[in-house]
Amino acid sequence: MRLPPRLIGWSVPLLSEAAALARSAILARMIGGEELGRAMMLMLVLRLAEMVSDVGIERFLIRQPGDVTPRLLAALHGAALLRGLGMAALLVALALPMAASLQGGASAATYAALALAPLMRGWLHLGYRLAERDMRLGPMAVVEGGALLAMLAAVVPAVAVWDDHRAMLAVLLAQAGAQVALSHRVGRARFRLAFDRAVLAQVLGFGAPLVLNAGLMFLTFQADRLIVAGWYGWAAVAVYGVALQLAMLPAQIAGRAAGSLLAPRLRDVSGAALVALSRRAMLGHLALGAGFAAGFTLVAPFGIALVYGPAFRPDLGLTLALGLAAGARILRTPLSQLAVVLGRTGDPARANLWRAAALAPALVAASLGLPLTAIAAAAALGEAAATCRALHLARGILFPLHSKACP
């Protein structure tokens, strides 16, 4: 029986985030708060390399008009491999500075070993992304779902070998290896690799603004934890990191689901139909964001303490601020998808500049010794400003008559 694409499109990112939470909860119970804080920093550094090298190869593939030829697919495999090599080089280069700047954290060798993950992912078969382009999401479910199972299966054996933050390294590598292996398993066409300068130029032209936006997103989404690590200690990193991870879970799910379900639909419409679809998407995400912000504020303190342990319980002010930040980011999801589909890949970066500006008050709050809630409040203010800017940039689609009357 073939499952509906909408069900798969929402289920896979939901399971992905649930698996990440389960991984953190298990590690919190097995290695403790301080070691979990160090493990989260390993994930943070890997995420940095992923974000600043994300030229949007999958999104470039999805928005291609007409059929994708084997030659183009091979050239995109080549681009993906080059990206993996670049990520690996960046991680090796960051190893010593990270180890030196974060005293008491992971060693330089552990940070450098993270480079194995992008080296493996550089050999990913993009066939399942090609199927996703045609709204056939079964292969994506196999690849992503299987990688999540491999990740969870690796947690306990990894802790048995390394009873500290290094277990996270083994878990991340197990997930990357499974993802690559499964992508080749479901790929219908033979894996071919080519290096085409023209295609690389197109990918870079399409993805350069996305790289800038990814850098801004790292600064806005991840740098808060660097501030907490620098001023509040490893145990606080774990408390703030767990709450932030839970708060941003719906935003991550909504973003991935929109990439699979909303982006292909936006690509196929124009005119009044595009306006109507964009408005419906905005209203749906507004309801989702508002509902989550309220629910997270009330439920998170008790839920986190129950699952992770009393030491990880955040206060109500922290959960309120993070819930509002997540709600604003959820509302921005369809605006980002609309910008990418229309080829306006610089718009998300323009919006996220406002979120990046919120790091200044966060740094001031940390230097003054204010509680963690002040860091989260700065994040909420930045997310709200970024969403307002994204709405302004999309006014020509959402409110075409008004934008013509008021240029």
Nearest-angstrom CA–CA distance, 122 and 262: 27
Tell whether 203 is covered by a domain.
no
pTM comes to 0.62
CA distance 52 to 216: 9
Residue 78 and residue 143 share a domain: yes
Residues 96 and 178 in one domain: yes
Asked whether residue 170 falls in the same domain as residue 259, the answer is: no
My answer on whether 10 and 154 are in the same domain is yes
Neighbours of 258 (CB within 10 A): 22
Residue 231's CB: how many other CB atoms inside 10 A? 18
Q: Which domain holds residue 368?
A: 217-401
pLDDT for the residue numbered 407: 42
Q: Are residues 185 and 223 in the same domain?
A: no
Summarised one tens digit per residue, pLDDT across range 204-261 is: 887 777 777 666 666 666 677 777 777 877 777 778 878 887 788 777 777 777 766 6
Number of domains in the chain: 2
Residues whose CB falls within 8 Å of the CB of residue 101, separated by 6 or more in sequence, listed in order: none
User: 57 with 120, same domain?
Assistant: yes
Give me the DSSP letters along 95-144.
HHHHHHHSTTS--HHHHHHTTHHHHHHTT--THHHHHHHTT--HHHHHHH
Q: Are residues 144 and 228 in the same domain?
A: no
- 164-168, 202-206, 221-225, 302-306: which range is least confident on average? 221-225
In a domain, 212, yes or no: no
Cβ atoms of 93 and 118 closer than 8 Å: no
Question: Could you tell me if 250 and 152 lie in one domain?
Answer: no
The answer to the question of residue 406 being in a domain is: no
Q: Let me know if residue 100 belongs to a domain.
A: yes
My answer on whether 247 and 351 are in the same domain is: yes
Q: How many residues does the chain have?
A: 407
Q: Are residues 181 and 221 in the same domain?
A: no
Residue ending a domain, among 195, 230, 260, is 195
Nearest CA among 222, 223, 276, 212 for reference residue 252: 222
Task: Judge whether 204 lies within some domain.
Answer: no
d(Cα 149, Cα 174) in Å, to the nearest integer? Answer: 10
Judge if 175 and 235 occupy the same domain. no
The reply to whether 24 and 55 lie within a common domain is yes
Closest by CA position to 372, among listed 246, 187, 227: 227
Is pLDDT larger for residue 327 or for residue 67? 327
